[in-house]
Amino acid sequence: MVSSAPALRDRFGRTADYLRLSVTDRCDLRCTYCMAEDMTFLPRNEVLSFEELYRLCLIFLRHGVRKIRVTGGEPLARRNIMALFGLLAPHLRTGDLDEVTLTTNGTQLSRHAAALFAAGVRRVNVSLDTRDGARYAAITRRGRIEKVLAGIEAALSAGLKIKINAVAMQGGFETEVDDLIRFAHGQGMDLTLIEEMPLGDVSHDRRASHLSLTDLRQRLSRRWTMTPLPDRTGGPARYMRVAETGGRLGFITPLSCDFCAGCTRLRVSATGELFTCMGEEGSVGLRDVLRSGGSDQVLAARILDAVSRKPKGHAFRISSSGVAGIARPMSYLGG
């Protein structure tokens, strides 16, 4: 798809080439840092169809997007989700897209892994904060860790490269992080640690649960030999090589270390709202144009205008005096 269309560039000189596309706000888990236990999900008629999502993808491709990550909620919970990957697959074969990736909780990965690989997906992020079954059930409020471990095994067998994402919180996580490192690296998987982000109304005080990864990294360096790496995968993670395992350990630090200067990401919700920053409330609606017969040119103009006004950085803050966050739950955009 050779195009002379203008790039998605903001006023700070950043060019967006990475789209995170949410396909649903629904999830089969209720992770404590992500959503409330009793959730009210979007009416289905407000969620974009696969054809509408694909049309938006084509517009973003014309304006320079090279990577699409499919997110949720839990994307594999959406019925017939493989239809969307099928629509995107030809653009991987022609080189219009560098990659299509997926972030999942892993509970349904075992039945989709082979089909994902066949559709051209080569990398998948799986959320897993513990390997202890009881603690996993407590964090997710309803999950069975066996399903996730089976999904990881199926994905590796299908040829997918797996990165484990783990949200770092005060408490049990600090005693388990070493086990997660050994587990991930022992199977050739990267592990990325993520600071809890103040998104949505959850059941605990984020001031008490916040764990600074800057502090945790210092403690880990007393037990592991870690060397900084220049590697980038399109996201905000900064990687270290762990000498004892040979594996990569990533750190995503939205609160203890600002990562906004190099942001190349845009997010579209399942309802067609374009968010140029996860850490800001503002969005631009695209669904009304899609459903009122508006042209691709009108959609592109709205997208370009929104990107031009992308904020310099997010508004997240956690301190002893309070929390500055966003009312929107993490599940709405998939983090």
pLDDT in tens, 244-278: 999 999 998 865 555 677 789 999 999 999 999 88
257 known ligand binder: no
Residue 47 lies in a domain: yes
pLDDT tens for each residue of 94-149 = 999 999 999 999 999 999 999 999 999 999 999 999 999 999 999 999 899 999 99
197 known ligand binder: yes
pLDDT over 70 for what percent of the chain? 87
31 known ligand binder: yes
24 known ligand binder: no
57 known ligand binder: no
Residue 319 lies in a domain: yes
127 known ligand binder: yes
20 known ligand binder: yes
Residue 279 lies in a domain: yes
* 327 compared with 45, residue with greater pLDDT: 45
Residue 302 has pLDDT above 80, yes or no: yes
For residue 83 the two structure tokens come to 């239809």
33 known ligand binder: yes
pLDDT tens for each residue of 172-185 = 889 999 999 999 99
Position 94 scores a pLDDT of 97
73 known ligand binder: yes
Domain that residue 106 falls in: 18-332
- CA atoms in the 13 A half-sphere facing the CB of 220: 28
Per-chain mean pLDDT for the chain: 89
How many structural domains are present in the chain? 1
34 known ligand binder: yes
46 vs 243: CA distance, rounded Å: 49
Residue 13 lies in a domain: no
Residue 327 lies in a domain: yes
Query: Band of the pLDDT at 236, cuts 50, 70, 90?
Result: confident
122 known ligand binder: no
The vertex-157 CA angle with 134 and 228, nearest 5°, equals 75
Residue 2 lies in a domain: no
265 known ligand binder: yes
Q: Counting beta carbons within 10 angstroms of the beta carbon of residue 303, is it exposed (0 to 12), middle (13 to 18) or buried (19 or more)?
A: buried
Residue 64 lies in a domain: yes
Residue 5 lies in a domain: no
pLDDT tens for each residue of 30-57 = 887 777 777 778 899 999 999 999 999 9
CATH number at residue 44: 3.20.20.70
27 known ligand binder: yes
